[in-house]
Amino acid sequence: MISRKEARPIHYLRVDEKAFRKGHSHMTIVCDLMRSTVEHVSEERKKSSLEEYYRRLSPGQLESIRAIAMDMWEPYFTATMAHVPDAGAKIVHDKFHVMKYVNEAVDKVRKQENKALMAQGDNTLKGTKYLWLFRPENLPAKHQPTFDVLKASDLNVAKAWAMKENLQSLWDYMSPGWGRRFFKRWIKWIDRSGLKPMKRVGQLLLRHLENILTFCRHRITNGVAEGLNSKIMSIKRKACGYSNKDHFKTAIYFFCGGLDLYPRSV
């Protein structure tokens, strides 16, 4: 299948993982964000999983890479730093992954507070999990009155939610310098909050800040990758799941790889 892919410059990449089946079985998927194609599928999510792709590229192709969106997963970061020229300025820990971690921290605050309230017979937070995770514009209208009261309260989760929503402003900055100033103010707010899940996620983002701020220069979005993810999940559902990873990889390349399937002259 790989032999049917045209060797060409690829400017914007996304590296992600995809669960092969429930549990801890994952695959590494690299896609071309400009052409909406899957360029590489490899077993597991190790450093070697991504290196397998980079080693396939010519020096010219590696040089042509302008930006790579990825999670803050150390093996992917290390592999990219080792193979892509000037990778430090090209790796983008994009909005989708950053906000995923922050949402998880908000939910931990909610769980802790709900447990404490329930022990006192207070059901205020019962059944509110998804209210705190919706983007405000996506919150169903029927839940708006309830959520308006909750987010204006003195609850810890309301404070954590406000911190999460405030961080959305980071993605509006076009200059890394101004983005850095904003983040420093935000992290001070987090540190003063006393909310341990928020402080932990704040420190995680601080450690990766330089490659979060690369978004100011390379404004890579998650739209293409989400479309490909949906297509991959559709392939999996139509085949009623795959018991063999190689068969699943072949199907991904066939339907999402942008392969040259025309007969070649001999």
Give every strand in the sheet of 25-32, ordered side by side: 37-43, 25-32, 12-21, 67-69, 91-92
Residue 110 has pLDDT above 80, yes or no: yes
Question: Are residues 123 and 236 part of one domain?
Answer: no
Rounded to two decimals, the pTM is 0.84
Residue 54 maps to which CATH number? Answer: 3.30.420.10
Q: Is residue 262 part of a domain?
A: no
Q: What is the pLDDT of residue 262?
A: 47
Question: Are residues 125 and 87 part of one domain?
Answer: no
Phi, psi of 264 (to 5 degrees): -100, 140
Higher-confidence position of 163 and 219: 163
Domain coverage including residue 76: 2-93+220-256
**Distance (Å, rounded) from C-alpha 163 to C-alpha 79?**
33
How would residue 266 be classed by pLDDT, with cut points 50, 70 and 90? very low
Q: What is the pLDDT of residue 220?
A: 85
